[in-house]
């Protein structure tokens, strides 16, 4: 499913008008009519309701004028509050504004704070609000009386129906631009925007519906949107059924470098999740002193004790044995629970540079790359990085707060610059690929804010690569499946308090469910 940026949507609109020949006014009509249909679906009988329609001076306001017209034709009374003077409205929006006069739809001009103060009391009595103030092209901060009006509407606690996007929301990042309408429902046009899906934008958007306004398919292909939403159908189609005579060698052999004193759980969960997702064999390379702990904790995976430092960490003495172990493996996963000792970090970087198989790097493996990201640029095999926002911040010398403000931008830029696949974890995980494409996940829940969940994801992605899935496909399946497994646990046990090991247990049944969705 495509997700579009403001620029991509504007280009589609322009090409539809200029090269395909559908007038802009027709697109506006389709948008307003479709939005009105959804308005009725969501609110039912509006006959006795007082509907206020807030409109700006641009095309978003024009969509609001179309909605007002359709409501009037259904005998439903609405009041349009125009946040400008009528004389400044131009083009298609002006044409639709003029059609409201013969229908006796009241249009109240509120071009400034003084006018807003005059009508503020009457606005309180509206029962439903339609937000058609600002469109998808907004990038600057909402200021002045626009901000005051948005905050006023939010304070009323009345249901708001947003047209295309809640006013004040950045359609590309999902960040509020100072002030933003909190909508209960949003009807967007053509395609969902990335800002609708990413948090906190998803919270401002509410329930999202998409209106087909008539953009031709060939124009969509010409624009070629680079953002996509992972869906059940897409993931179901990825899975490859196994041959009836398959054996464990066909499912591949994973080498996992993980664990250190006090962090054996990370190694165990990563290994077990790789097995649960279908890896044929898993060998866990770990410091010698914790080998006995892991041997008894994970029965199906093999362990390989490695030389360690005086502190019980992996160091340079482990390099040659690790390289020998890579022979015959299909994937290397490195990082969970390894620790942050200087010698361990040096080993991690050296192994990454010399690896002869695809690599999944997580946790302490990522931290070892901070300040040394240039080594990623000339690797012989694909790399998947699975950072949380704090780890991503360390990679790019920024802050987690900055990362969260533009998750797609940071993940995309890093993937392109270093020719790697980036899985930026968190609510609505972002998966960025070197070719500029980005996929956003919608599965998962707040109960996953618990230790070990990242280790499970690392094992799942690595286990999929081990079975022969491409790094791209393994990232998509792993992230989506990780979320659906957690959703299944939450549905059964409760919204939080479940463990990463609970998620591991239900992976096979969720694979079965997704494979059936393909049929």
Average pLDDT over residues 142-156: 96
Measured CA to CA in angstroms, residue 129 lies from 43, 125, 133, 181, 339 at distances of 11, 11, 11, 11, 54
Tokens of 132: 């058609």
In CATH terms, is domain 232-517 a member of 3.10.450.40? no
Q: How far apart are CA 346 and CA 361, in angstroms?
A: 14
Tokens of 323: 């390289």
CA atoms within 13 A on the CB side of 76: 24
DSSP character for 48? T
CB 174 within 8 A of CB 438: no
333 - beta bridge partners? 256, 360
CA atoms within 13 A on the CB side of 57: 12
Q: How far apart are CA 343 and CA 167, in angstroms?
A: 52
The fraction of the chain above a pLDDT of 70, given in percent, is 100
Q: How far apart are CA 263 and CA 314, in angstroms?
A: 13
Phi-psi region of 239 (alpha: psi -120 to 50; beta: other; left: phi over 0): beta
Average pLDDT over residues 115-141: 95
pTM of the model: 0.96
Tokens of 170: 């950045």
In CATH terms, is domain 2-225 a member of 2.60.420.10? no
Phi-psi region of 128 (alpha: psi -120 to 50; beta: other; left: phi over 0): beta
CA of residue 229 relative to chain centroid, distance: 7
Q: How far apart are CA 70 and CA 96, in angstroms?
A: 11
Three-state DSSP state, 300 = coil
Sheet holding 383-385, edge to edge: 192-193, 2-4, 227-229, 438-440, 430-432, 421-424, 383-385, 359-361, 331-334, 253-257, 281-287, 302-306
At 183 the pLDDT is 98
Whether the predicted pLDDT of 348 surpasses 50: yes
What are the sequence ranges of the domains in the chain? Answer: 2-225, 232-517
Mean pLDDT, the chain, integer: 97
CA atoms within 13 A on the CB side of 496: 7
At 378 the pLDDT is 87
Whether the predicted pLDDT of 116 surpasses 60: yes
Of 225, 240, 238, which is closest to residue 440 (Cα–Cα)? 225
Q: What pLDDT, in 10s, does the model give residues 85-95?
A: 999 999 999 99
pLDDT band of 518, cuts 50, 70, 90 = low
Residues in the chain: 519
Whether the predicted pLDDT of 519 surpasses 50: no
Q: How far apart are CA 139 and CA 175, in angstroms?
A: 10
CA of residue 110 relative to chain centroid, distance: 37
Pairing state of beta strands 253-257 and 281-287? parallel
Q: What pLDDT, in 10s, does the model give residues 199-217?
A: 999 999 999 999 999 999 9
The kind and range of the H/E element at 284 are strand 281-287
Q: What's the angle, vertex CA 303, arms to CA 302 and CA 309, rounded to 5?
A: 170
Tokens of 165: 């996007």
Tokens of 223: 């624009």
Q: How far apart are CA 188 and CA 196, in angstroms?
A: 9
Q: What pLDDT, in 10s, does the model give residues 449-502?
A: 999 999 999 999 999 999 999 999 999 999 999 999 999 999 999 999 999 999
Q: How many CB atoms lie within 10 A of CB 40?
A: 14
The kind and range of the H/E element at 491 are helix 471-493
Instruction: State the residue for tokens 């006796």.
Output: 104
Q: How far apart are CA 366 and CA 456, in angstroms?
A: 16
Sort 281 into a burial class: Cβ within 10 Å, 0-12 / 13-18 / 19+.
Answer: buried
Q: What pLDDT, in 10s, does the model give residues 356-401?
A: 999 999 999 999 999 999 999 989 999 999 999 999 999 999 999 9
- 360 φ, ψ (degrees, to nearest 5): -110, 120
Average pLDDT over residues 103-114: 97
């Amino acid at each position: 499913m495509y997700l579009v940026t403001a620029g991509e949507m504007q280009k589609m609109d322009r090409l539809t008008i200029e090269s395909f020949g559908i007038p802009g006014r027709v697109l506006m009509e389709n948008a307003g009519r479709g939005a009105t249909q959804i308005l009725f679906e969501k609110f039912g009988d509006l006959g006795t309701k007082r509907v206020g329609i807030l409109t700006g001076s641009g095309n978003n306001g024009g969509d609001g004028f179309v909605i007002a017209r359709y409501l009037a034709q259904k005998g439903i009374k609405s009041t349009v509050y125009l946040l400008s003077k009528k004389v400044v409205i131009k083009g298609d929006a002006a044409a639709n504004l003029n059609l409201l006069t013969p229908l006796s739809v009241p249009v109240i001009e509120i071009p400034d704070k003084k006018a807003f103060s005059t009508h503020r009391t009457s606005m309180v009595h509206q029962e439903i609000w339609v937000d058609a103030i600002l469109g998808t092209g907004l990038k600057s901060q909402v200021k002045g009386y626009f901000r005051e009006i948005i905050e006023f509407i939010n304070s009323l606690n009345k249901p708001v129906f947003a047209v295309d996007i809640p006013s004040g929301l950045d359609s590309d990042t999902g960040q509020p631009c100072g002030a933003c309408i909190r909508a209960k429902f949003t009807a967007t046009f053509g395609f969902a925007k990335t800002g609708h899906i990413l948090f906190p934008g998803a919270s401002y958007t509410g329930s999202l519906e998409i209106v087909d306004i008539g953009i031709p398919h060939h124009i969509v292909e010409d624009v070629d949107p680079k953002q996509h939403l992972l869906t059940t159908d897409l993931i179901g189609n990825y899975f490859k059924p196994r041959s009836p005579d398959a054996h464990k060698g066909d499912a591949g052999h994973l080498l996992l470098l993980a664990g250190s004193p006090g962090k054996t759980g990370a190694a165990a969960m990563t290994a077990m999740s790789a097995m649960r997702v279908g890896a044929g064999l898993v060998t866990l390379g770990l410091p010698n002193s914790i080998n006995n702990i892991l041997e008894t904790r994970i029965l199906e995976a093999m362990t390989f004790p490695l030389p360690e430092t005086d502190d019980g960490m992996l160091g340079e003495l482990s390099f040659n044995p690790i390289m020998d172990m890579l022979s015959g493996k299909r994937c290397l996963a490195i990082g969970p629970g390894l620790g942050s000792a200087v010698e361990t970090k040096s080993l991690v970087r050296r192994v990454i540079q010399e690896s002869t198989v695809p690599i999944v790097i997580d946790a302490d493996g990522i931290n070892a790359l901070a300040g040394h990201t240039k080594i990623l640029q000339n690797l012989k095999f694909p790399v998947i990085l699975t950072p949380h926002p704090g780890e991503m911040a360390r990679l790019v010398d920024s802050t987690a707060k900055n990362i969260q403000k533009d998750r797609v931008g940071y993940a995309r830029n890093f993937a392109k610059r270093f020719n790697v696949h980036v899985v930026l974890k968190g609510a609505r995980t972002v998966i960025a690929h070197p070719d500029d494409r980005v996929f956003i996940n919608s599965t998962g829940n707040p109960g996953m804010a618990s230790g070990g969940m990242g280790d499970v994801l690392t094992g799942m992605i690595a286990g999929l690569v081990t079975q022969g899935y491409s790094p791209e496909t393994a990232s998509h399946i792993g992230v989506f499946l990780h979320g659906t497994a957690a959703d299944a646990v939450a549905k059964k046990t409760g919204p939080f308090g479940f463990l990463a090991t609970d998620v591991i247990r239900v992976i096979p049944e969720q694979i079965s469910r997704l494979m059936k969705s393909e049929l």
